[in-house]
Amino acid sequence: MGRPLKVAAAQVGAVHRTTSRAEVLDRLIKLLEDAAKQEVKLVVFPETTFTTFFPRYYITDDAELASYYELETAETGPITRTKKVKAFFDKAQQLGLDVQIGYGEDTGNGRYNTAVYVSGKTGDVLNKYRKIHLPGSMEPFDLDPNTTNQLEKRYFLPGDYGFQAFRASSLKDICGGSSPIVGQLICNDRRWAEGWRCYGLQGVEVLCCGYNTTAYAPQLWGGDQNISREKAYEEAMFHHKLVVQAHAYTNSMFCITAARSGNDDGRHPLIPGSMIVDPEGHIVAESKTEDDELVIAEIDLDDCKQGKERTFNLGKHRRPEMYGRLVEEGGVKPPPEI
């Protein structure tokens, strides 16, 4: 293999509203330890990994809401140094593991759905990404505790860092002297082609994406409000795989997706589907459960070359002068009726 890299998606099973942060950290650290035993070098964790997926709840208690975020200011320092989660990052550095992990970020001036990529060599944050495509609404669908609401627009600001690729210099020596080019997305971002192509234009080789995807939320999706839970689960899994496999292929990159899965609170099911997809769009490894699980594959970054140099040679085949509508229009604008 030309530029080998052993990677893992760290799937995290059910985390209830009542689950303590200490319990979650213990589970995450065990996943790190298991990954190190299997000589993994990069581990991707889900969206908002340290807590339950709180945007499903209509929360009126300010103290409870604040408890779901990590306060990250000039005074606290970066997320890797904050008291509530420092143990996780210390363990990753001790084991020499690069990690991407998602969390609710509170800057003191705004709150974001965020993911950081942290070096296993130095413990430094190599890149921070804030979720751009926030789904759902500002107000709940209803106050029935069995309803899965989607209130990210209420609890987060849209990401403001854009789609900026970076070099994972911590993996340079492992990957034949050439640092992997990495991009980041969070959950709903994976459904939108624009972010993928922004990364494709920067030569990204590994796309890291954590997610919480509901297995049953007809109020959110629209359409058939009487859809069965079995059919809803099937559709959610299909669309998850569809977008990841298609966009990994059309941008000639590997993608590592990590799910928060399981049945939170016994009534809010989330799909699994943690997987590693290659630049041809094939699933090379996939989760087998809805519990805490490592999905591991040894990949070769040189496998990106075929697509980048041939079928999807962007510099050779794209026609950007024809794509103006993509940035000129914010929404659908049909042609006039004749």
- pLDDT value of residue 170: 97
Q: At what angle do helices 193-200 and 229-250 cross, to 10 degrees?
A: 30
**Rounded alpha-carbon distances, angstroms, from residue 153 to 113, 249, 311, 319:** 10, 30, 38, 34
* pLDDT grade for 85, boundaries at 50, 70 and 90: very high
Q: What is the dihedral of CA 166, 4, 195, 89, to 10 degrees?
A: -60
Measured CA distances, 22 to 26, 29, 86, 103 (Å): 6, 11, 12, 15
Backbone angles phi, psi at 119, to 5 degrees: -70, 135
Q: Which of 72, 105, 187, 255 is catalytic?
A: 187
Let me know if 187 is a catalytic residue: yes
- What confidence score (pLDDT) does residue 12 get? 98
Q: What is the pLDDT of residue 69?
A: 98
Each domain of the chain, given as residue ranges in start order, spans 4-328
Q: Average of pLDDT values for 305-331?
A: 96
Domain 4-328 has CATH 3.60.110.10: yes
How far, in Å, CA of 125 to CA of 116, rounded?
7
Q: What is the mean pLDDT of residues 283-308?
A: 98
- Mean pLDDT over each residue of the chain, to the nearest integer: 97
Q: For 266-279, how does the pLDDT look when each residue is reduced to its tens digit (9 = 90+)?
A: 999 999 999 999 99
328 is catalytic: no
**pLDDT confidence tier of residue 182, bands split at 50, 70 and 90:** very high
- Residue of 41, 47, 241, 290 with catalytic role: 47
From the list 41, 91, 128, 131, the catalytic residue is 131
Residue 153: active-site member:
no
Has residue 167 got a pLDDT over 90? Answer: yes
**What mean pLDDT do residues 168-183 have?**
97
The pLDDT score that the predictor gives to residue 219 is: 87
- Average pLDDT score over residue span 82-88: 96
Q: How confident is the model at residue 1, as a pLDDT?
A: 60
